[in-house]
Chain A
Amino acid sequence: MTKLSLFLGCIVPNRYPGIENATKLCLEKLDLDVVDLPGASCCPAPGVFKSFDKGTWLSLAARNVVISEKMERDVLTICNGCYGSLADANIELKSDPEMKAQTNMCLKGIGMEYQGTVEVRHIIELLYEEIGPEKLKTYVTTPLDLKVALHYGCHLIKPTKERKLGNSENPTFFDELVEATGAESVDYTDKMMCCGAGGGVRSGHIEESLEMLEHKLACIQRAGVDCIVNACPFCHLQFDKGQLAVNEKFGTDYSIPVLHYSQLLGLALGISPDKLGIEQNAVQNLEFLAKVYEINAGIR
């Protein structure tokens, strides 16, 4: 099995630490060899920093990868944005000697050198490729009686040329991982649509970002689900915190719980909801909380 270092990024440790704890607890239960990636910075966020300056984007990403190279471990990301930056930068640096040389010129000042010896993985892609839904089912102790609106998020699968996870129009690999927990992945209108947060839109144009989010939430509401599941803390933040802002802006009363896949998997592996940080979300849906505690206690 691959040796990994866990890249936390910004939003997980600094806004949704429940996802950090859920991830660590799940990886331990799955017996994966994962350690911290100490001293890592922002990936840096692809939507903004890749839009500002390529050299900075590549250099900062390369530094994070170099820390993992020194540990002789592949980088494990739990965020589509971090995956987008680190995996894309890694591919670019491995395939473009000129870019690699330029980036290493910058890294020289801090005594680092990018070699190109490790891979960058995303937890969903890793679980699918290295464990697979069938084997994952054997770890499930608490099958989840939940209906889920799955949000893949854009940078997990696109650009497909780099990701190699198949077609981006109608993928199933993530649905299979959701269903391995016992939950049902419910189809809904515009399932593959963006959450509206990326590309610096949430930070730069919040009103427009919320318009896109409202459309997604309306589609999800109509599908009648227990919760939204994502694999990206930035989508997570948009769906969770953004939901309250949408309610304020549009006079709606959405109260759809939002879970990162690590949190959903954690429930299925029998981990208590309070260890997974589900109660720390901005959306407080008491009915859902009661349900997950009942599932955890074996009452449902």
Chain B
Amino acid sequence: MSDDEEVLEVLKAAGIDILSCMHCGTCTGSCPSGRHTGLNTRRILRDARKNRPVLEDKDLWLCTTCYTCQERCPRGIKITDALLEIRRLAVRKGFMLPEHRRVSEMVLEYGHAVPLDEETRKKREELGLDPLPNTAQHSPEALEQVKTLLRTCRFDELTAEK
């Protein structure tokens, strides 16, 4: 099966029927990103149903996942969920922005996508809060649990530079 055929298979398995799209364009017309960027949601779905390559499509990553298209689709197609399925397949095929690899590294190392920094530590003290928040960063055992869980999910392998 080619990558592009796999896209339709993945969507089908997730119960998302993009073949019922009637190309009304409500998704693209409602898209807050599409007003300012090259994202054309309808075009991505059309390419997917025609087995054209979408996994390398950079516009896939311009969706803010605001769900407006999904809410408004007159056919009730789970459009945002479909884009998320396509993104996940793209990542499995190794297509990932370097910036997104870095966000993944943060969670792998600190258990948090946005870890604590010196400036915030001071702000916490000014407020009378514990300088170290009561989260995974506070407890070596909890952080080790998170790291073990991520390894079990093979998230480190998935997001590693290929």
Contacts and interface: CB of A to CB of B under 8 A. Distances in A.
Interface in A29-43: 36-42
Given A168-B71, A200-B61, 13 more contacts: A17-B127, A39-B145, A48-B103, A51-B65, A52-B96, A56-B158, A154-B65, A154-B66, A159-B80, A198-B66, A211-B36, A212-B33, A275-B128
Contact of A52 (B62, B66, B88): B88
Contacts of B16: none
B32 A193 contact: yes
Contact of A39 (B102, B123, B135, B158): B135
Contact of B33 (A15, A44, A110, A208): A208
B36 A215 contact: yes
Report which residue of B61, B115, B135, B143 has the largest number of chain A beta carbons within 10 angstroms of its beta carbon: B135
A14 B126 contact: no
Interface string B110-129: 01111111001001101111
Interface of B: 32-33, 35-37, 61-68, 70-71, 80, 84, 87-88, 91, 96-97, 99-100, 102-104, 107, 111-117, 120, 123-124, 126-129, 133-139, 141-143, 145-146, 148-150, 152-153, 155, 158-159
A189 to B, nearest CB: 13
**10 nearest CB pairs, A to B:** A39-B142, A13-B133, A158-B67, A199-B65, A194-B66, A41-B111, A10-B114, A154-B66, A211-B36, A199-B64
- What is the size category of the interface that chain A forms with chain B? 35 or more
Contact of A110 (B80, B129, B148): B148
Contacts of A215: 35-36
B32 to A, nearest CB: 5
Contacts of A200: 61, 97, 100, 103
Report which residue of A37, A200, A215 has the largest number of chain B beta carbons within 10 angstroms of its beta carbon: A200
Interface of A: 8, 10-11, 13-15, 17-18, 20-21, 36-42, 44-56, 59-60, 63, 106-107, 109-110, 112, 154-155, 158-160, 168-169, 190, 193-194, 196-201, 203-205, 208-209, 211-212, 215, 275, 277, 280
B100 A41 contact: no
Given A13-B135, A14-B112, A52-B100, A110 B145 contact: yes
B113 A44 contact: yes
Contacts of A54: 88
Contact of B112 (A10, A51, A159): A10
Contact of A109 (B111, B114, B136, B152): B152
Chain B binding surface SS class:
helix
A51 B84 contact: yes
B155 A41 contact: no
A232 to B, nearest CB: 12
Contacts of A205: 37, 61-62
Given A160-B71, A205-B62, A212-B32, A60 B145 contact: no
B107 A201 contact: no
Nearest to A63: B149
Contacts of A36: 134
Contacts of A47: 64-65
Contact of A106 (B67, B70, B103, B153): B153
Contact of A18 (B36, B102, B127): B127
Contacts of B149: 59-60, 63, 106-107, 109-110
